[in-house]
Structure 1
């Protein structure tokens, strides 16, 4: 049984949720644009001179389409992803703090796992979902976990594991894969976009149930 501990005051989450949703939309759009550009590269076909990396340290000049993919699509997409990660973690931190206050019980995962859970190998396959699950149980006792959580996490794992193999290496390597491994890249991109959409539902749902719990808790408090 978890021991009861002192908890901080309830924190507003609507603003943090709005930022998380906005950046999830931005990240999803960025990855959709990445997929669209990869289709354009595949349709155009690899130049007769071969891939950008010619081997032995030699590189050919990028085509206009490849150059745009390099400087616009990938760089802006990576920036949108980082911004989304920061906003999502800020929201996650707030709803976790509120879940602690509402339940009065020690969380299953200590606070460093809010960050480390995403980057520690093996552990990152289940800990982030576990944190979300615990927040929901504390915020909506007795209510069933929303299906969006499982969809979000399943799609995120597909995108994460697929991206770990396909998006490693230099940008020139990724450009070469856009010509040879287009279907696999598109599956990964679709999973990331789907995870962004499901993530929006997770943020909105958890924020709503937590706000309801906060409202009911305050409404039930005796007047002094």
Structure 2
């Protein structure tokens, strides 16, 4: 049975916007710390008091990012599971992974690098408006979002490790370049995620409005693709 994903989609988009907002806050904190540590590395020891303030700001930004991400993940996965179930109504035989993987794939090591993308593409293809025999809409948006998401994960981990291991102002200064890069990539990835959520939700709405003719017949049904020949 089809269930509207619209409310969850707008909630996910809003929380992704919150993720972007906290990333922007973190960028500001990054640059404040970057400026202070650069000055200290150059010998300006009078900046030590400002460095403590910058460090507190940097910590607050990290907590804000983590809280926004947790809230976003919960709602996004609720939305993702909803559109996966809907996609099975549109095209029962068009999915390489079961419903459970729509949530479980994100938390399973190794396979979480490609399973969610495969599931997203199956949902995208099944939700493309038109009859089941029409060519699905291009995958450019899905691929761009997923690529930036993976890059942001790698960049964030690298930046965190570099910052954690840094022991001097000069090392912190260098590590912050990676942290800033990770936050910038995360902003773009979150923006693409918003576009993905809203576009896919719109596609499912359009598909649902087309009525029963837009739903794939069972495999082997007369007149369906599997029944040809």
Return the TM-score normalized by structure 2: 0.78
Output the CA distance in 2 between the equivalents of 1:174 and 1:91.
Answer: 42
Output the CA distance in 2 between the equivalents of 1:37 and 1:102.
Answer: 46
- 1:25 matches 2:17: yes
Q: 1:76 to 1:175 in 2, by over 3 A?
A: farther
Which residues of 2 match residues 1-224 of structure 1 at below 5 A? Answer: 9-45=1-37, 63-70=52-59, 72-105=60-93, 107-140=95-128, 141=132, 142-168=135-161, 178-217=172-211
Name structure 2 gaps, 5 residues minimum.
42-50, 216-229
Q: Normalized per residue, which structure has more helix?
A: 2
* Aligned-residue RMSD, C-alpha: 2.9
Output the CA distance in 2 between the equivalents of 1:168 and 1:43.
Answer: 20
Larger Cα Rg: Structure 1 or Structure 2?
Answer: 2
Output the CA distance in 2 between the equivalents of 1:149 and 1:175.
Answer: 41
Query: Which residue in the other structure is 1:53 paired with?
Result: none
Return the TM-score normalized by structure 1: 0.80
Output the CA distance in 2 between the equivalents of 1:149 and 1:220.
Answer: 22
Name structure 1 gaps, 5 residues minimum.
1-8, 50-61
